[in-house]
Structure 1
């Protein structure tokens, strides 16, 4: 298994925002992201100082959105490290397969929505950073 993606393959995607005096509305439709959504999950009530992520995927792509609050996503391709702060519910971070990600610095009340290209399969996860680096360098 060789993983050749880089952090430059990850990008911020603008989600349409429909302003209204009664509250804003944002819509995610199939043509907005480059994959079919097969799983949706969200992180919330993350304790102060806790971290999430700490893995890479072999095949799965994800779109992360800060529905409420903020958090940092640290992307690592084995060569380059990039930090992206998510704090707008109308902006998502597309993370391709083969990128190590860590989520840190969750603000109080933050909610991270994740749209995933695959159903949960443990064998798609690389949970050890040294194993990730080995896969990148093969």
Structure 2
């Protein structure tokens, strides 16, 4: 689900705000991907419990979401829009433009036990 962020327009530059009320979970962790080499893919995992909110703060990239039944591709290229990723959703990030920056907001700190990094294991976990 794409969520539009508030956009405050100003001749000096635009500003968007992310607060706990803006996205569907409390913010506990923020990280970002940058300098992603051309042709590189990121993601390739699901989370058992964690949700995520992904924003292309610069440039563009595709996010492929798969819930085990349906696969959808989202092209993120606007810094005032983000993609909400529910738990138990396989995600892949591809087609990074030069200079792209991918910001990810999470409701929990890093926990390796929450990751499913094998697609077949993900499908089995869903059953």
TM-score normalised by structure 1 residue count: 0.91
RMSD: 0.5
Corresponding residue of 1:82: 72
- Structure 2 residues not aligned, in runs of 5+: none
Distance 1:76 1:30 in 2: 26
SS of the counterpart of 1:130? helix
CA positional deviation for 1:29 = 1.2
Could you report, residue by residue, the CA deviation over 1:22-45 in whole angstroms, capped at 9, with x for unpaired residues? 000001111111111110000000
Counterpart of 1:128 (choices 111, 118, 121) is: 118
2:42 is equivalent to residue 48 of structure 1:
no
Q: Secondary structure at the match of 1:92?
A: strand
Kindly state the Cα deviation for residue 105 of structure 1 after the two structures are TM-superposed.
0.1
Moved over 3 A (4+): none
In structure 1, what is the Cα distance between the partners aligned to 2:5 and 2:28?
Answer: 19
TM-score, length of structure 2 as denominator length: 0.99
Q: Which secondary structure does the structure 2 equivalent of 1:134 belong to? A: helix
Unmatched runs of 5 consecutive residues or more in structure 1: 1-10
Give the total of aligned pairs: 127
* 1:61 matched residue in structure 2: 51
Query: Within 5 A, what are the aligned runs for 1:1-138?
Result: 11-137=1-127
Residue 128 (structure 1) shift: 0.3
Which SS does the other structure have where 1:45 is aligned? coil
